[in-house]
Amino acid sequence: MRGGTKVSVETQGVRIVHRVLRRVFRRESRLLMELVAAVRPGDTARAGVLAGHFRLYRLALRRHHQGQDELLWPPLLARVDLEADVVLRMQAQHERVAVTLARLDAAVAAWEAAAGGDERDTVVAALCDHRAVLLEHLDDEEAALLPLAARYLTEREWACLGERLVAGLAGPALFGAVLEEASPAERALVLRGLPAAARVVWYVAGRPRYARHIRRVRG
Ligand SMILES: [Fe+2]
């Protein structure tokens, strides 16, 4: 079936997964800050678990931004006129987020080694700065950019974004994070979009793995 209705449903699915993913980034950046702040000095085991979780978070956010950098900004800049400043602002915000992530990479590596109290506080401060920049971007993206994308992107471009999005969620930790955040209706739609075999793999192997990961991370 390749009718217009099906394409529209897919487009709707891509938008929903994007929306849920933005909520995941809001949630996980807050939780990371709270969880790292609670680690006792010298608890290297706990620091190692949270450092690993931070790297998954960073991977998901980087993939998400790369997808937007490559698939969203070029077609929009080619079509918008007066609203080009919105797209350029998004690009600049992505660069600012990347700077905060680079600072976090260094801070987390320094903390992970011995789980020192000062190093932990540096990570928490860097997470706080990162979150402020990220939330400003997500709020702006939702208010100013998404209406442009809805107006100017073709169904085919939405489909490309969707493919990139699904590839970026490979692995139970990222996929599980999206399903955890999704409402029951959103969850049903995301799972319906999977091939039947992938759905079985998720229930049998992915979901228990995600549950174990989250129990370790949230303590
Ligand atoms: Fe973005």
Helix residue ranges per DSSP H, the chain: 4-37, 44-71, 73-79, 84-114, 117-140, 146-152, 155-168, 172-181, 184-192, 196-201, 207-218
Q: What is the pLDDT of residues 156-183, one digit of tens each?
A: 998 888 888 877 777 778 889 999 999 9
> Which pLDDT belongs to residue 219?
85
Instruction: Give Cα 35 distance to the centre of its chain.
Output: 18
Residues with CB in 5 Å of ion ligand 1: 68, 141
Count Cβ atoms below 10 Å from residue 115 Cβ, excluding itself.
20
Please tell me the distance between residue 164's alpha carbon and the centre of ligand 1 in angstroms.
14
Predicted pLDDT at 47: 98
Report CA(188)–ligand 1 centroid distance (Å): 25
* 80 phi and psi angles, rounded to 5 deg: -80, 160
Centre of ligand 1 from the C-alpha of residue 42, in Å: 36
CA of 141 relative to ligand 1 center, distance in Å: 6
> Cβ–Cβ contacts within 10 Å for residue 32, how many?
23
Distance (angstroms) between ligand 1 centre and the Cα of 5 equals 28
- The string of pLDDT tens digits covering residues 65-100 is 999 999 999 999 999 988 999 999 999 999 999 999
Give the integer Cα–Cα distance in Å for 201 and 177.
Answer: 16
Residue-level pLDDT at 8:
64
Determine the pLDDT at residue 3: 38
Q: How far is the CA of 68 from the centre of ligand 1 (A)?
A: 6
**Residue 42 amino acid letter:** G
In angstroms, rounded to a whole number, what is the distance separating the alpha carbons of residues 133 and 198?
35
pLDDT of residue 9: 62
Distance CA 59, CA 57 (A): 5
Asked if 169 and 18 touch (Cβ cutoff 8 Å), the reply is: no
For the chain, residues with pLDDT lower than 50 are 1-7
Please name the residues in contact with 164: beta carbons below 8 A apart, sequence gap of 6 or more.
Answer: 67, 70, 71
Ligand 1 centroid – CA 27 distance (Å): 16
**Cα–Cα distance measured from residue 35 to residue 50, given in angstroms and rounded to the nearest whole number:** 8
